[in-house]
């Protein structure tokens, strides 16, 4: 499996990166499937799904793995405290990671996701942050590695 964010890509380079990694299934783990700013309009759910379909990549939304609004606000408060923006964050707040794990991951059954992974090609976890260390997708990836022996590569923009 791989993980990928939206920030730092345009629609064309994003799809190119997915194709290069032989992604056949994209697992969207965002709570809100829209991205602010005209440069990221391609990543809004309807447009993204259309582009993926045209590229032959299946799409699934896994809202059960998305952070709650309360958790996102907790992270934003830490971002404000550190003086960083969402698009420039380099790591998750420790309290956010702890609570996301306890409130979301510990309650999630990842077995059906693992069972549905494509037999050919790979699957990708998608969220918005450029760096996986700054995003809950890294926590999901770690859990899948620890409990389901799924190996990950983190795809980054050029």
| Tokens matching residue 120 | 């050919």
Q: What DSSP element (H or E) covers 2?
A: strand 2-4
Predicted confidence band of residue 21 (pLDDT cuts 50, 70, 90): very high
For the beta carbon of residue 5, count every other beta carbon within 10 angstroms.
24
The tokens describing 29, both together, are 């783990």
pLDDT at 86 over 80: no
For 109: left if phi > 0, alpha if psi spans -120 to 50, otherwise beta; the answer is: beta
Q: Is the separation of the CB atoms in 125 and 27 below 8 Å?
A: yes
What token pair was written down for 97?
């990671």
Q: How far apart are the first and last CA of the chain?
A: 19
How many residues comprise the chain? 158
In this structure, the strands spanning 2-4 and 153-154 are: parallel
Q: What is the pLDDT of residues 93-122, one digit of tens each?
A: 999 999 999 999 999 999 999 999 999 999
Can you tell me the distance from the alpha carbon of 23 to that of 10, in angstroms, rounded to the nearest whole number? 17
Q: What is the mean pLDDT of residues 68-79?
A: 94
For Cα atoms 74, 43, 64, give the angle at the middle one, nearest 5 degrees: 50
Q: Which pTM does this prediction carry?
A: 0.94
């Amino acid at each position: 499996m791989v993980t990928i964010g939206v920030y730092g890509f345009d629609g064309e380079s994003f799809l190119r990166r997915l194709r290069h990694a032989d992604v056949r299934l994209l697992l969207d783990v965002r709570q809100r499937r829209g991205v602010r700013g005209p440069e990221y309009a391609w990543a809004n759910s309807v447009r993204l799904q259309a582009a993926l379909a045209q590229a032959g990549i299946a799409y699934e939304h896994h809202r059960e793995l998305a952070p709650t609004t309360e958790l996102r606000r907790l992270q934003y408060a830490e971002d404000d405290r550190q003086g960083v923006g969402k698009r420039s964050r380099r790591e998750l707040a420790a309290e956010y990671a702890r609570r996301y794990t306890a409130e979301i991951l510990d309650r999630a059954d990842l077995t059906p996701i693992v069972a549905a992974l494509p037999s050919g090609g790979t699957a990708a976890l998608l969220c918005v942050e450029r760096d996986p260390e700054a995003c809950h997708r890294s926590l999901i990836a770690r859990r899948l590695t620890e409990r389901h022996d799924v190996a990950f590569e983190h795809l980054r923009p050029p």
